[in-house]
């Protein structure tokens, strides 16, 4: 009899763990969820809001293997992921193992795949967290209700399009993209002018020049709207004397950033490495689950990748401090390890930030064992974490106000120059300015909210004192126009969702992918724009089901799910509070949308191909592919691709986006053109 059975989600994770535990442990994987809500109907009991769950096609053999292994084990450890989805999988496995595991089951979690973390988890088992399971159930049911109840409003309002869908977070995310596009379209550029002066200190043998910008006119911020305004200033300044009015010297601390959370990792990987969120999460999953290094065993390199927390374990801080002392010196160590507070009130502080498991595994040291993309992401995570445990950077600063004396009259025009010199690099020694693209230093010419320059930042300034006379070398007027807000990048949209409290780390990337898969948004120069179809969908929802795109409503529901997870709210009560008013709104919307039905927009992104296109129904219209609330979700087989609805010989099915890379997962959706429901066999590699 095997003494212990450890059940995890991923087969790759299972292989990594097998090399860390002794012969007394058997490790098996569920390969994701084992139960699902069928896609052919609502499948929600509207009295108690429980979902109908069935065994995922193809998981029967897997479950039999788990039952057999559980029957032969003395203890069964459910070691699925430490988020709500992982907790629900643990609950479903426990229910399906049945008598073979009666009295044997224990729940454990760990944030890093190391021998020490595994041993610590095995020493502290706990019951399955019912709050997390209830929250996951509520989320799944609400997503199904929103998707299945609101999508028909789109079908009624936009005739000829049966693949349209709405979603609890998907629709507010679309609204954000559409709203940004409306802001851009409505933006009217305003002209404004700046004036800069190139100066040097009178009598300075080095004639070190510096730049200052017009800062005040008669004590007020300048408002030069036209070229004529700028030319008037230039005319006034002809023959003026220039003199230092005030010099203020000081220092500025620049603190390091906290270690990565899911969304901040995706944003940094986008801006610094050019990775989209899907690729970032794929690579991060590989680093988390394990990479084979020189010793021939798979090793988990980073901690759990779906987290909103910036908390760091004390032992990890000590490990980082040892690396800092070794490679950079004691001068870079703060007296006490920095403590970072998670701003997101919904984050689970029991989770850690994303960090390297062992900081001694430097990016350079393990580079030979990683792909180029894996190495780039690991290096980013390693540098960010090490930097987070270092001293702040210290700058010497100088601000110089310069008065202009015109025929000895009181100063009308005041110019300002600033300088900043790095005295101590601190965390920038490892997380440097050049790589710090997502939160760069102030631009050379900072601009105030009113569009006017605040003062030019010079890399070097001469030694100046109050009353020093200055030499003017040139005056430079420059025309500017206010700029519209930029479109979101994929990572920036995820950051906006996080800031607004929409979605959670496990769903950020799939939300954006779903919008792209539905052809509601497109990408242009790596920025998201709404397609004509996406605009129509958003406008229809705004008109008839405003709740579906209401950011505040969706964020409040997300908070309710968190309250359920914490045990502070009852799932049934939350569901009842949500459903009654929501159904009333949707019922009215169906009638109103049908009365104002219009053809759906067809664009290059949405039109079906004329040849080899969809089968047609008896009416001659293209046969609609069924909706699936799992479209866009991670593939349950490989965990890296996302699920997409496809057409097949025997009807529509769900397949993995990584089919070309070897993933064979498929799942029949029924509703094929021949009217039958045939089993869709996995493809052979």
The residues annotated as belonging to the active site are 304
In a 3-state reduction of DSSP, which class is residue 315? helix
467 and 244 Cβ atoms separated by less than 8 Å: yes
CA distances from 538 to 10, 556, 624, 641, 643 (A): 37, 20, 21, 27, 23
80 and 86 Cβ atoms separated by less than 8 Å: yes
Instruction: Estimate to the nearest angstrom the gap between the alpha carbon of 181 and the chain centroid.
Output: 20
d(CA 301, CA 112): 8
| Token pair belonging to 92 | 């479903």
Please list the residues that pair with 298 across neighbouring strands: 292
d(CA 492, CA 177): 11
Give burial (CB, 10 Å; 0-12/13-18/19+) of 221.
middle
In a 3-state reduction of DSSP, which class is residue 268? helix
d(CA 589, CA 592): 5
User: β-strands 241-254, 469-481: how paired?
Assistant: antiparallel
| Token pair belonging to 565 | 């997870």
User: β-strands 393-405, 241-254: how paired?
Assistant: antiparallel
75 and 4 Cβ atoms separated by less than 8 Å: yes
| Alpha helices (H) in 569-667, listed in sequence order | 571-595
Residue 324: count of CB within 10 angstroms of its CB: 24
Residue 47: count of CB within 10 angstroms of its CB: 8
d(CA 330, CA 532): 58
Q: What phi and psi values does residue 671 have, to the nearest 5 degrees? A: 75, 25
Residue with tokens 């299945």: 148
d(CA 11, CA 165): 32
In a 3-state reduction of DSSP, which class is residue 432? coil
DSSP string, 362-431: -HHHHGGGS-HHHHHHHHHHHHHHHHHTSPPEEEEEEEEEEEEEBTTBPP-EEEEEEEEEEEE-GGGGTS
b/e map 463-485, b = 16+ CB within 10 Å = ebeeebebebeebebeebeeeee
């Amino acid at each position: 009899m095997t003494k212990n059975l450890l059940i995890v989600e991923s087969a790759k994770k299972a292989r990594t763990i097998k090399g860390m535990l002794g012969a007394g442990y058997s490790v098996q994987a569920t390969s994701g969820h084992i139960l699902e809500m069928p896609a052919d109907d609502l499948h929600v009991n509207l009295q108690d809001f429980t979902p109908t769950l069935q065994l995922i096609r193809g998981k029967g053999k897997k479950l039999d293997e788990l039952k057999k292994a559980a029957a032969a084990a003395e203890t069964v450890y459910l070691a699925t992921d430490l988020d709500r989805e992982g907790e629900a999988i643990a609950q479903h496995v426990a229910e399906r193992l049945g008598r073979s595991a009666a009295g044997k089951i224990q729940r454990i979690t760990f944030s890093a795949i190391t021998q020490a973390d595994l041993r610590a988890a095995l020493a502290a088992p706990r019951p399955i967290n019912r709050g997390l399971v209830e929250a996951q159930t509520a989320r799944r049911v609400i997503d199904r209700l929103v998707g299945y109840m609101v999508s028909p409003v789109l079908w009624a309002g936009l005739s000829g399009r049966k693949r349209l869908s709405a979603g609890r977070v998907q629709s507010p995310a679309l609204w954000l993209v559409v709203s940004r596009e409306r802001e851009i379209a409505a933006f009217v550029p305003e002209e404004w002018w700046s004036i800069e002066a190139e100066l040097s200190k009178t009598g300075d043998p080095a004639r070190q020049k510096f730049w200052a910008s017009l800062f005040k006119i008669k004590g007020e911020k300048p408002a030069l709207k036209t070229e004529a305004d700028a030319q008037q200033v230039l005319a006034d300044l002809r023959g003026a004397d220039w003199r230092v009015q005030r010099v203020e010297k000081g220092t500025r601390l620049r603190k390091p950033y906290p270690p990565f959370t899911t969304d901040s990792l995706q944003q940094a990987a986008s801006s610094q490495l050019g990775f989209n969120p899907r690729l970032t999460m794929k690579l991060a999953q590989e680093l988390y689950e394990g990479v084979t290094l020189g010793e021939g065993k798979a090793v988990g390199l980073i901690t759990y990748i779906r987290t909103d927390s910036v908390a760091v374990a004390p032992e990890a801080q000590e490990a980082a401090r040892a690396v800092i002392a070794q490679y950079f010196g004691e001068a870079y160590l703060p007296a006490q390890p920095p403590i970072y507070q998670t701003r997101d009130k919904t984050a689970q502080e029991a989770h850690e930030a994303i960090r390297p498991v062992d900081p001694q595994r430097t990016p350079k040291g393990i580079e030979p064992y990683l792909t180029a993309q894996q190495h780039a992401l690991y290096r980013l995570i390693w540098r960010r974490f090490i930097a987070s445990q270092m001293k702040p950077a210290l700058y010497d600063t100088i601000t110089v106000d310069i008065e202009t004396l015109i025929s000895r009259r009181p100063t009308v025009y005041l110019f300002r120059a600033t300088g900043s010199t790095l005295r101590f690099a601190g965390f920038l020694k490892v997380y440097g300015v050049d790589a710090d693209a997502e939160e760069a230093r102030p631009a050379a010419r900072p601009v105030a909210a009113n569009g006017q320059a605040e003062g030019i930042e010079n890399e070097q300034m001469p030694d100046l004192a109050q009353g020093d006379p200055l030499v003017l070398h040139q005056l430079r007027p420059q025309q500017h126009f206010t700029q519209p807000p930029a479109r979101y990048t994929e990572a920036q949209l995820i950051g906006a969702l996080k800031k607004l409290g929409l979605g959670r780390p496990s769903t950020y990337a799939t939300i954006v992918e779903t919008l792209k898969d539905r052809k509601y948004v497109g990408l242009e120069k790596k920025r998201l724009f709404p397609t004509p179809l996406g605009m129509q969908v958003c406008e229809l929802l705004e008109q008839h089901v405003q709740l579906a795109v209401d950011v505040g409503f969706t964020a409040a529901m997300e908070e309710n799910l968190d309250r359920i997870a914490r045990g502070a709210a009852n799932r049934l009560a939350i569901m009842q509070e949500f459903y009654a008013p929501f159904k009333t709104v949707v019922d009215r919307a169906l009638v109103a949308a049908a009365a104002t039905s219009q053809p759906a927009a067809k664009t290059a992104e949405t039109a079906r191909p004329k040849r080899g296109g969809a089968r047609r129904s008896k009416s001659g219209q293209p046969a609609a592919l069924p909706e699936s609330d799992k479209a866009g979700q991670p593939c349950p087989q490989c965990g890296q691709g996302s699920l997409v609805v496809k057409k097949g010989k025997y009807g529509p099915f769900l397949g993995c986006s990584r089919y070309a890379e070897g993933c064979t997962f498929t799942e029949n959706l029924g509703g094929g053109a021949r009217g039958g429901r045939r089993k869709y066999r996995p493809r052979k590699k």
